[in-house]
Amino acid sequence: MALEDPVCRGSAQRGFGRGLRMEPQDAAAAAAERAGSASRRTREIADRLTRLASGHPTDTTDLRDAQEHADEARERAQASFQRAIEGHERAARSHERTAAVHEEAARRGLGDAEEHHRRAQQHRQDAVADREEAAHDRERVARDRRTEPTSSTERNGGSA
């Protein structure tokens, strides 16, 4: 008889469990912040479109605001990748500990030893998958940092 482990069985390979879940209050606060930011951005875009439609060109304030929003979005994306990296690393460690528990249970003769060995192997595979995801996210962050403009002069094509 196979033991059920619905919480973590194959989670990395199915794409679930990517990092720890946020506490409900944290998730709600983050969602509210994103919604507020999106609402402000929507109003700014609507205002800019109204000005453009009426024949008024985009001014330097609009451009500066757009750059600030792009910078904020980049920072949020980097923070998100960092949380994902940390979550993958935690998940990998958890899978390794769970594999060790299954191996110990098999060694002690608790339950079906073959099933414990199979599940330990699956957890080790999931740990490898999580570590690969963390490495992929680290590469993405490093690549983004190499390609992003580092100063307002560079962003403006050499003019201050």
pLDDT tier, 23 (very low <50, low <70, confident <90, very high otherwise): low
CA–CA distance, 75 with 32 (Å, rounded to integer):
18
Q: According to the model, what pLDDT value does residue 124 have?
A: 97
Say whether pTM exceeds 0.75. Answer: no
**What is the span of the domain harbouring residue 117?**
79-147
Domain contains 131: yes
Domain contains 37: no
Domain contains 13: no
pLDDT tens digits, 25-45 = 666 666 667 767 777 777 777
Domain contains 59: no
Q: What residue has token string 């993958």?
A: 88
Domain contains 92: yes
CA–CA distance, 137 with 84 (Å, rounded to integer):
7
Domain contains 138: yes
Domain contains 66: no
Q: According to the model, what pLDDT value does residue 106 have?
A: 96
Tally of structural domains, the chain: 1
CA–CA distance, 9 with 23 (Å, rounded to integer):
22
Domain contains 86: yes
Average pLDDT over residues 80-85: 89
132, 12 contact by CB (below 8 A): no
CA–CA distance, 95 with 129 (Å, rounded to integer):
10
